[in-house]
Amino acid sequence: MRHFIGHWRIGVFLVLVMTGHAEEIVPTNDLMITKTVKLKPGVYVVEDTGQPGILRMEGEGITVDATGVTLRGAELGTPADKMKGVGVWVKGKNITIKGGYFPGFHIGIN
């Protein structure tokens, strides 16, 4: 019985570690994403300067949970012909974006 209880405790510990909450990342300009992440929910106004894309995703099998995130490239009311940049730039295979709203860019997702 003692041997069984020891394994059970190890099993519970591994489950707790593997199912812990991931750190939430705040979107910033040229944020390179190469692994599965969760973005911190909120409304962000970020101008695309530098490399194309506020969020830059590169790799395979990446999931970005953007539930509750609005990432604006320009303030509300900006005319469409004044919008610039790319909200999300993607290069790779099997990349998934869950949720998210990306208005105010010349190109929302490229």
pLDDT tens-digit readout, 31-83: 999 999 999 999 999 999 989 999 999 999 999 999 999 999 999 899 999 99
pLDDT reported for residue 19: 43
> What total number of domains does the chain contain?
1
Q: Which residue has the higher pLDDT, 5 or 98?
A: 98
Is residue 105's pLDDT more than 60? yes
Residues 33/62, Cβ–Cβ less than 8 Å: yes
Using CB atoms within 10 A of its CB, is residue 106 exposed (0-12), middle (13-18) or buried (19+)? Answer: middle
Of 79, 89, 90, 84, the residue nearest 106 (C-alpha): 84
The answer to whether residue 8 is domain-embedded is no
So what's the pLDDT on residue 22?
61
Does some domain include residue 54? yes
Q: Which residue segment(s) compose the domain that 50 sits in?
A: 22-109
CA-based max dimension of the chain: 72
Determine the Cα–Cα distance for residues 51 and 49; give it in Å rounded to an integer.
6
Establish if 104 belongs to a structural domain.
yes
pLDDT at 35: 95
Alpha-carbon span 89 to 51, nearest angstrom: 9
The per-residue pLDDT for 98 is 95
- Does some domain include residue 16? no
Percentage above 90 pLDDT, the chain: 75
